[in-house]
């Protein structure tokens, strides 16, 4: 099973600044099978980024994803109040079971 | 627009069966390009994939090893929905359960979540 490790566990950033979230895989993951999700309290996760760098429909361009192999990054620029949430990376390299990272909580500084 | 609406009890007695249903609108449970999945989330386990059902000229089910002996996921084509049954539950099965649609190995659409507590 591929283990995803996200860092940091909690990230404190001021509105208007840029947040950089990391996701490291225990073995190589195809970029086609790496996604990022945002979760707010009491809500289901929402797809932000698929294929490591493709924004989902309706996702603002301040969200961007990058990376390959075992290192992936989600960058959120010009942070807005609605961006403070928990972010999860997710890999689906080995059918049928995908795995999630443990999440990074983005909080207001 | 695809929507997934979950239903089922929020309280289950230990050793009994957890049963949830996910009604699909805007897509078909018989679509041959997607898979219909169940995922749960708890503070101790995080987000955990439980299993899926999908149609590719015949029906398939895949289950996580951690629950394989206790889980059944079935499609219901007459109602365009799919269900989760988890047998012999313990308090460790308490979690928020989500249904979701998997396409191109990405979970594009999620149900609203159901908090299930296992307690007597």
Q: Give pLDDT tens digits for A29-74.
A: 998 899 999 999 999 999 999 999 999 999 999 999 999 999 999 9
Among A85, A98, A84, CA closest to A35: A98
Helix, coil or strand: residue A89: strand
Which residue of chain B is at minimal alpha-carbon distance from A30?
B105
Residue B43: predicted pLDDT = 95
CB contact under 8 A, A96 and B105: no
Residue B21: predicted pLDDT = 98
Contacts with B4 (C-beta within 8 Å, 6 or more apart), sequence order: B22, B23, B24, B25, B99, B100, B101, B109, B110, B111, B112
Tally C-beta pairs within 8 A across A and B.
49
Residue B114: predicted pLDDT = 98
Backbone phi, psi, residue B14, to 5°: -55, 140
CB contact under 8 A, B110 and A45: yes
The verdict on whether omega for the bond into residue B29 sits within 30 degrees of 0, i.e. cis, is no
CB contact under 8 A, B52 and A32: no
Average pLDDT, chain B: 97
Best of B107, B109, B113 to disrupt the A interface (most A CBs within 10 Å) is B107
Residues of B whose CB is below 8 A from A33: 105
Contacts with B113 (C-beta within 8 Å, 6 or more apart), sequence order: A43, A44, B6, B41, B96, B97, B98
* Mean pLDDT, residues B92-107 taken together: 96
pLDDT > 90? residue A96? no
Residue A21: predicted pLDDT = 98
Task: Count CB-CB contacts under 10 A for residue B87.
Answer: 15
User: Could you tell me which residues of chain A have a Cβ less than 8 Å from any Cβ in chain B?
Assistant: 32-33, 35, 37, 43-47, 50-51, 56, 88, 90, 92, 95-100, 102-103
Q: Which residues pair with A69 in a beta bridge?
A: A29
Residue A94: predicted pLDDT = 86
Which residue of chain B is at minimal alpha-carbon distance from A33?
B105
A52/B75 Cα distance (integer angstroms):
31
Best of B105, B112, B115 to disrupt the A interface (most A CBs within 10 Å) is B105
**Facing B105 at nearest CB: one of A33, A37, A103:** A33
CB A11 within 8 A of CB A104: yes
Q: Going by DSSP bridges, is the β-strand pair B3-7/B11-12 parallel, antiparallel, or unpaired? A: unpaired
Per residue in B17-67, pLDDT (tens digit) is 999 999 999 999 999 999 999 999 999 999 999 999 999 999 999 999 999
Both tokens of B13, joined, read 């007695």
Best of A2, A88, A96, A104 to disrupt the B interface (most B CBs within 10 Å) is A96
């Amino acid at each position: 099973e591929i283990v995803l490790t996200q860092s940091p566990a909690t990230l404190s950033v001021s509105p208007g600044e840029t947040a950089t979230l990391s996701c490291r895989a225990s073995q190589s993951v195809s970029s086609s099978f790496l996604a990022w999700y945002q979760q707010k309290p009491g809500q289901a996760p929402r797809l932000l980024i698929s294929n490591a760098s493709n924004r989902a429909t309706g996702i603002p361009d301040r969200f961007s994803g990058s990376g390959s192999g075992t290192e992936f990054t989600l960058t959120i620029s010009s942070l807005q109040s609605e961006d403070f949430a928990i972010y999860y990376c997710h890999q689906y390299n080995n059918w049928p079971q995908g795995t999630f990272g443990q999440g990074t909580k983005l909080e207001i500084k | 627009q695809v929507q997934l609406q979950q239903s089922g009890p929020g309280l289950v007695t230990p050793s009994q069966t957890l049963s949830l249903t996910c009604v699909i609108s805007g897509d078909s449970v018989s679509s041959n390009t997607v898979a219909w999945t169940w995922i749960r989330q708890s503070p101790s386990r995080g987000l955990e994939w439980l299993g899926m059902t999908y149609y590719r000229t015949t029906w398939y089910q895949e289950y996580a090893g951690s629950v394989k002996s206790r889980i059944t996921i079935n499609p219901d084509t007459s109602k365009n929905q799919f269900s989760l049954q988890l047998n012999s539950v313990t308090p460790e099965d308490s979690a928020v359960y989500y249904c979701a649609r998997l396409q191109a190995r990405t979970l594009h659409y999620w149900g609203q979540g159901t908090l299930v507590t296992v307690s007597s």
